[in-house]
């Protein structure tokens, strides 16, 4: 390990040292280097308990992997639809797990190399090493061969991201996978149990089901926590119709390998709320029970950086500054803030500009668009209906909604009630749009444009005055007239 030494006249080895290769850390490093600062980024990709390397950090963002897997599933649906459009196949179509694994792994390697090249071109120094704060402005750097060196920096940024959690039940670490381990499997996952109803869990369940594999989701504790629960229910209904099973009010108590079975089949023990147990066998058990901030073992306590006792995430100011003046944090290590790859990159860029570019613009953590690659893509910006009611009062909220049928779905006669939008408006503020939700093909691309409009104070009347692009799906948002109150009243009267 031979990091470039700083000139002797400098008080510190580096102007900026970033611990961790999360998307926010990469962004702040590249922007600071572009502003002629000497920058070092430390990013050691640690293997998971199953031996697979983390796909996040500087290798490739997990959201990119999710989109690629979603595309693999969509292609399977497109093959089925294509016959309705007149396409004929000379041979039976089947999916090859090994080919997909190889393609994804190549994409990971390619993206990792590309990121390292970008850092080098920007003038950022990069080391595959761990960083631990040992004193103010001082970091002990440990490389893969356990060689150590101490380096100093005027400013430190923590961007270590987060990692998958385990349940700490017998057999979970020995026999279960996480989403980051999925592509260490040399074989198809087969019959899979997905533990957890998180966005990550539903994405994996939907993708595997789309490949034709039997999938069961054990919901712990609820479906899509933090998201709009009515939208979560619609996603669940769609997945149920397409063959995914859901298990509620059960918990996982043990995972063990079936004796005298060379196939690696697993026996899972479930426990109900009443204490009753049952057992089932699966080929794969995948844990998606949330993510834990990677803030341990990096020396935060040595210099007084304060973290939340509940989450372990770092407490920061509106300027992304920790309780220690020269230490900042970006990305999912921050406590109490939304976390997406795009948000982290935006926040990291703005942080570098404030530190070195004379800018004062802070990152706006409200109205952050997000996308979940469930079988029918779901994207949202702003508040869920539950949070809007809580913040403004149910009487002050109007929800406009509609199902829609994408034109390309009409010929293959896909379900008319799979795609749905709703717009949540604050009545006293001229029906300002405070939440926008889309469930349908390319939902993320649709919501991206409306996210910009919401930043500008989008009101319902402005949506109504917008010309819809016919015959595209997004036009449904420009012609919403039915409110949820009216729909519910019609159902009570039996008119719907």
Residue 434: CATH number of its domain: 3.30.390.30
Task: Please give the pLDDT value at position 55.
Answer: 40
Residue 108, domain CATH: 3.50.50.60
Q: In this structure, are 331 and 380 located in the same domain?
A: no
Q: In this structure, are 19 and 155 located in the same domain?
A: yes
The torsion region of residue 393 among left (phi > 0), alpha (psi -120 to 50) and beta comes to: left
DSSP for 311-349 reads T-PBP--TTSB-SSTTEEE-GGGBTTS---HHHHHHHHH
Is the pLDDT reported for residue 51 higher than 60?
no
Task: Please give the pLDDT value at position 2.
Answer: 62
Considering only residues 10 and 118, tell me which one the structure prediction assigns the higher pLDDT.
118
Establish if 361 belongs to a structural domain.
no
> Average pLDDT in the 1-5 region?
61
Which tokens sit at 475?
A: 């036009």
pLDDT category at 215 given cuts 50, 70, 90 is very high
Strand ranges for 159-213 from DSSP E? 162-164, 177-178, 192-195
Question: How much of the chain is helix, strand and coil, in % rounded to 5?
Answer: 35, 25, 40
Domain end call among 356, 386, 405: 356
Task: Please state, in angstroms and as integers, the Cα–Cα distance from residue 275 to each residue in 249, 272, 441, following that order.
Answer: 11, 5, 42
Q: 148 preceded by cis ω (within 30°)?
A: no
Domain count, the chain: 3
Instruction: Give the burial string for 305-342 (b: 16+ CB within 10 Å, else e).
Output: bebeeebbbbbbeeebbbeeeebbbbbbbbbebebbbe
Rounded to an integer, what distance in angstroms lies between the CA atom of residue 39 and that of residue 31?
10
Percent of the chain whose predicted confidence (pLDDT) is above 70: 93
Task: Give the model confidence (pLDDT) of 338-395 as tens digits.
Answer: 989 999 999 999 999 999 999 999 999 999 999 999 999 999 999 999 999 999 999 9
Is the pLDDT reported for residue 415 higher than 70?
yes
Cβ-based neighbours of 308, under 8 Å, separated by 6 or more: 314, 315, 335, 336
Single out the catalytic residue among 70, 335, 401, 470.
470
Is the pLDDT reported for residue 412 higher than 70?
yes
Rounded to an integer, what distance in angstroms lies between the CA atom of residue 474 and that of residue 110?
34
Q: In this structure, are 299 and 156 located in the same domain?
A: yes
Cα dihedral sign, 235-237-243-244: positive
Q: In this structure, are 247 and 301 located in the same domain?
A: no
Q: Check if the beta carbon of residue 20 is closer than 8 Å to that of residue 159.
A: yes
Q: In this structure, are 137 and 186 located in the same domain?
A: no
Task: Please give the pLDDT value at position 495.
Answer: 65
Domain end call among 255, 271, 289: 289
Q: In this structure, are 191 and 309 located in the same domain?
A: no
Q: How many other β-carbons are positioned within 10 Å of the β-carbon of residue 121? A: 10
Task: Please give the pLDDT value at position 181.
Answer: 87
Q: Check if the beta carbon of residue 380 is closer than 8 Å to that of residue 447.
A: yes
Q: In this structure, are 147 and 269 located in the same domain?
A: no
Percent of the chain whose predicted confidence (pLDDT) is above 90: 79
Q: In this structure, are 193 and 238 located in the same domain?
A: yes
> Average pLDDT in the 175-200 region?
91
Rounded to an integer, what distance in angstroms lies between the CA atom of residue 157 and that of residue 489?
53
Rounded to an integer, what distance in angstroms lies between the CA atom of residue 40 and that of residue 141?
11
Rounded to an integer, what distance in angstroms lies between the CA atom of residue 466 and that of residue 450?
11
Rg of the chain, C-alpha, whole Å: 24
**CA end-to-end span of the chain, whole Å?**
70
Q: In this structure, are 257 and 325 located in the same domain?
A: no
Is the pLDDT reported for residue 19 higher than 50?
yes
DSSP for 249-279 reads SEEEEEEEEPTT-TT--EEEEEEETTS-EEE
Task: Please give the pLDDT value at position 54.
Answer: 46
Residue 205: which domain range?
172-289
Task: Give the model confidence (pLDDT) of 69-107 as tens digits.
Answer: 999 999 999 999 999 999 998 888 899 999 999 998 888
Establish if 62 belongs to a structural domain.
no
- Average per-residue pLDDT for the chain: 91
pLDDT category at 448 given cuts 50, 70, 90 is very high
Task: Give the model confidence (pLDDT) of 277-312 as tens digits.
Answer: 999 999 999 999 989 999 999 999 999 999 999 999
DSSP 52: P
Task: Please give the pLDDT value at position 38.
Answer: 97
Task: Give the model confidence (pLDDT) of 452-494 as tens digits.
Answer: 999 999 999 999 999 999 999 999 999 999 999 998 877 777 6
Q: In this structure, are 267 and 323 located in the same domain?
A: no
Establish if 91 belongs to a structural domain.
no
Is the pLDDT reported for residue 61 higher than 80?
no
Establish if 438 belongs to a structural domain.
yes
Establish if 366 belongs to a structural domain.
no
> Is 335 in the active site?
no
Q: In this structure, are 122 and 264 located in the same domain?
A: no
Is the pLDDT reported for residue 123 higher than 60?
yes
Q: In this structure, are 156 and 182 located in the same domain?
A: no
pLDDT category at 46 given cuts 50, 70, 90 is low
Domain end call among 231, 264, 289: 289
Task: Please give the pLDDT value at position 56.
Answer: 41
Establish if 321 belongs to a structural domain.
yes
Closest by Cα among 204, 190, 238, 32 to 125? 32
Q: Are strands 14-19 and 148-158 parallel, antiparallel or unpaired?
A: parallel
Considering only residues 476 and 9, tell me which one the structure prediction assigns the higher pLDDT.
476
Task: Please give the pLDDT value at position 180.
Answer: 84
Establish if 8 belongs to a structural domain.
no
């Amino acid at each position: 390990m031979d990091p470039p030494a700083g000139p002797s006249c400098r008080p510190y080895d580096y102007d900026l040292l970033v611990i961790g290769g999360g998307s926010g850390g990469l962004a702040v490093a590249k922007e600071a280097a572009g502003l002629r600062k000497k920058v070092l980024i430390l990013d050691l990709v640690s293997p998971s308990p199953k031996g697979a390397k983390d796909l996040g950090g500087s290798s490739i963002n997990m959201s990119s992997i999710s989109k690629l897997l979603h595309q693999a599933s969509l292609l399977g649906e497109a093959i089925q639809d294509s016959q309705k459009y007149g396409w004929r196949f000379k041979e039976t179509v089947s999916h090859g797990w090994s080919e997909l694994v190889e393609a994804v792994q190549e994409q990971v390697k390619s993206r990792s190399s590309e990121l390292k090249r970008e850092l080098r071109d920007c003038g950022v120094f990069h080391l595959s090493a761990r960083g631990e704060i040992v004193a103010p402005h001082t970091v002990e750097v440990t490389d893969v061969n356990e060689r150590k060196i101490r380096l100093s920096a005027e400013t430190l940024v923590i961007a270590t991201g987060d990692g998958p959690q385990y349940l700490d039940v017998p057999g979970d670490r020995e026999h279960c996978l996480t989403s980051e381990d999925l592509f260490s499997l040399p074989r198809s996952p087969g019959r899979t149990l997905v533990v957890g109803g998180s966005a990550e869990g539903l994405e994996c369940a939907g993708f595997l089901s789309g490949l034709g594999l039997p999938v069961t989701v054990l919901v712990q504790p609820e479906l899509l926590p933090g998201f709009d629960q009515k939208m979560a229910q619609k996603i669940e209904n769609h997945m149920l119709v397409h063959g995914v099973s859901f298990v509620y009010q059960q918990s996982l108590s043990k995972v063990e390998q079936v004796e005298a079975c060379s196939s690696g089949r697993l026996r899972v023990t479930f426990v109900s709320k009443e204490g009753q147990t049952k057992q089932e066998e699966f080929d794969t058990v995948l844990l998606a029970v949330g993510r834990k901030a990677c803030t341990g073992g990096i020396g935060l306590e040595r210099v007084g950086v304060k973290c939340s006792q509940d989450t372990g995430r770092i407490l920061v100011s509106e300027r992304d500054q920790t309780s220690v003046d020269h230490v900042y944090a970006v990305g999912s290590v921050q406590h109490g803030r939304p976390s997406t790859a795009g948000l982290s990159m935006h926040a990291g860029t703005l942080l570098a500009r404030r530190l070195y570019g004379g800018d004062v613009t802070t990152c706006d953590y409200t109205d952050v668009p997000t996308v979940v690659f469930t079988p029918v893509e779901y994207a949202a910006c702003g508040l869920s209906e539950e949070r809007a009611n809580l913040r403004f009062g149910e009487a002050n909220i109007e929800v406009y909604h509609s199902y829609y049928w994408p034109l390309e779905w009409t010929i293959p006669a896909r379900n008319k009630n799979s795609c749905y939008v709703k717009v949540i408006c604050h009545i006293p503020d001229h029906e300002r749009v405070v939440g926008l939700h889309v469930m349908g093909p390319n939902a993320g691309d649709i919501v991206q444009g409306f996210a910009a409009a919401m930043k500008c104070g989008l009101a319902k009347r402005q949506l109504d005055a917008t010309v819809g692009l016919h015959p595209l799906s997004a036009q449904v948002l420009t012609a919403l007239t039915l409110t949820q109150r009216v729909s519910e009243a019609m159902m009570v009267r039996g008119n719907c």
